[in-house]
Chain A
Amino acid sequence: MRNSCKVTSLRLLRLGLLAAALAVAACEPYKVVATGAQSIGPDMTVSKTKAWVQILPPHAPKGPDQVWTLDGLGLNALMIYGGVKDGQTLLKVQGEKKEQPPAFTSGMDGLELQELVGATISRALAGGVAVEPLSLTPATFMGAPGFATEFAFPNTDGLDMRGYAEGANIDGKLYLLLFVAPRIHYYAKDLEEVRAIAHSAIGTGAGV
């Protein structure tokens, strides 16, 4: 009786996996980001040159307005924020009971934003290990005084990762590009493109 149950449950599981695979295929987890200007929320537009793919909800990490990748999220993830409001977190940690990263507050500037990015990555991607800051420099983002920071962290899969964030707090809302990739090969491969996207960011809405 136990064995027959096992066989039945195996068949059911396989059918379930097949159905799930079909369902996933039907709802398309990604789409190619078209060339030219891309709107990120109502206030921001960016441009890119490489063939980025946008990961669509519910497959994308929750928090950013858009999540792009070139080779897969584990190899390069570009999270783009077009106006984070006071009290919002940059990345939501999966699981209802999980502690969430600290929230953005409207008074933050470069130094505090570097801390916010670090604490977010630590909590959401690094299993609680502190991010190692590599640089923090002033930057002009969407025509406003902002910041750029590079950092290192080991992710929860045990990979040595690098990250880059560039953005600005404009009128109490955070406009930000947050890029993470493995240190070996991928980070250096796409960093210049990410910087170019950051420099292409322009304000488009009434809010900026």
Chain B
Amino acid sequence: MTWGPAFDRREVLRRLGVCAGGLSGLGLLGGCQSTSVDARVPEQRPPKNTDEAGLWLQMDKAEKQIAVSPRRVRDASLDAYIKGVICRVAGDHCRDMRVYVMRRPFFNASMAPNGMMLIWSGALLRMENEAQLAAVTAHEMGHFIERHSLENFRRLKNDADAAVFFGMVIPVLPVMLAIADVMAFSRAQELQADTIGLERMAEAGFAPGQATRVWENEMAERDADPKKEKHDPFLRTHPEIEQRLAGIAKEAKALEKPGQRVGAEDYQARIRPFRENFLEDELQLRQPERTLALLDRLTKTDPGAADLQHYTGEVHRLRHADGDEAEARTAYNAAIATDPGYARAWRGLGMLERSVGKHDAARSAFQKYLELNPEAPDAKFLQGYLAETS
């Protein structure tokens, strides 16, 4: 089956819904519970002794772990800012939602049926403004409002293998594994969430065209990567990206109005304090082409930022390709020119010069680094190097 921008998306959705319900209704899955659900009612927990209550219980358990996880970015003011943007698009559902920013250097956000919204640091690093944050979270809200994970839960329960899975494996496997299955949304569910997300963000006054921009940025990054990372968690759960992008662009255009909010400055001011840590995580992925494409884009929205210049240097230094030595040196020097007190750039420059045997230049860069950061974790090692080469 194919569909695309030439079709009316709502009609396609309706048909897909009929098909999915039809299988159960015709008794082809004998003994199956209907998987279709109504949209959720705000501020209402599911009645006890229902499958939905069971699903929420699993998610509540996962949320308890996530709330205390060392992977969580704990910052009340960041959480409050994100929650504020989300609540503008959530309306009556606002009080049902809790936001957790998690340190994962990939673009992803998810919303569990109990109201737990996870936003990965890689998504916050990549977004450019409030409207993009609203777009991503409003999409997840679409899944939440339509109770897609309950649909999936019922579909899985109706499958014999899944019954074995839920009956036997959950007690010994992390709860997150079960969540991954319930949260693997179908194409129809993704399209429905796209539509709901766009409508909600436009109703809240955000520029819906920024939803398109999120996807374009992601695709540009992916295209820059010679390996075209196929196991990207974001893309794995969001198939047929080009077709979806065309549909989103068409719907967004129809919803555009003058004066809609983008909110770039506010967003960047809130994210900037966390950006260095997020970039450090990104660097560990050792995907230089992709990271350079990201840094190049971020630099356009925030030119002359020392952290962006420094990490550009780091990517070049660690890649070791032709021309990288000079590119790295230029980038570190740019960071130092922007902010002579930016210790990391002095260290990076020292590492670079040392690796190419320019020990005098390395020594002076490391000395500056240690002056700025005398308690640095690597101070003893560097002092040893300085003593050896003096």
Binding site for B on A (CB under 8 A): 1-3, 5-6, 9-10, 13, 95, 97-99, 101-102, 110-112, 114-115, 118-119, 122-123, 127-131, 133-138, 147, 154, 157-160
Contacts and interface: CB of A to CB of B under 8 A. Distances in A.
Interface residues of B, number: 42
Contact of A10 (B164, B174, B284): B164
Contacts of A119: 284, 286
Interface string B348-390: 0001001100000000000000000000011011101100000
B103 to A, nearest CB: 5
5 contacts: A111-B351, A111-B382, A112-B355, A128-B285, A133-B378
Q: A interface, by DSSP: helix, strand, loop or mixed?
A: mixed
Given A111-B378, A158-B66, A129 B229 contact: no
A154 B354 CA distance: 31
Contact of A129 (B104, B174, B230, B378): B104
A174 to B, nearest CB: 17
A34 to B, nearest CB: 32
Interface of B: 29-31, 65-66, 68-71, 103-106, 160-161, 163-164, 168, 174, 227, 229-231, 277, 280-281, 283-287, 318, 351, 354-355, 377-378, 380-382, 384-385
Contacts, number: 99
Contacts of A123: 284-286
B284 A159 contact: no
A73 to B, nearest CB: 16
A3 to B, nearest CB: 7
A135 B379 CA distance: 8
A158 B174 CA distance: 11
A5 B104 contact: no
A111 B164 CA distance: 50
B103 A2 contact: no
B380 A130 contact: no
A9 B165 CA distance: 12
A128 B280 CA distance: 10
Contacts of B382: 111
A205 to B, nearest CB: 28
A6 B160 contact: yes
Contact of A9 (B71, B161, B284): B161
Given A128-B106, A138-B381, A97 B231 contact: yes
B313 to A, nearest CB: 14
Contact of B281 (A101, A129, A137): A129
A4 B29 CA distance: 13
B337 to A, nearest CB: 24
Contact of B380 (A2, A128, A136): A136
A165 to B, nearest CB: 13
B31 A2 contact: yes
A124 to B, nearest CB: 11
A130 B277 contact: yes
A112 B209 CA distance: 44
A6 B378 CA distance: 59
Given A111-B378, A154-B69, A9 B164 contact: yes
A201 B362 CA distance: 32
Nearest to A159: B70
A31 B106 CA distance: 39
A128 B284 contact: yes
Given A13-B164, A130-B283, A158-B65, A110 B381 contact: yes
Contacts of A134: 377
Nearest to B28: A2
A6 B31 CA distance: 12
Given A3-B31, A160-B70, A147 B381 contact: yes
A99 B229 contact: yes
Contact of B163 (A6, A147, A158): A6
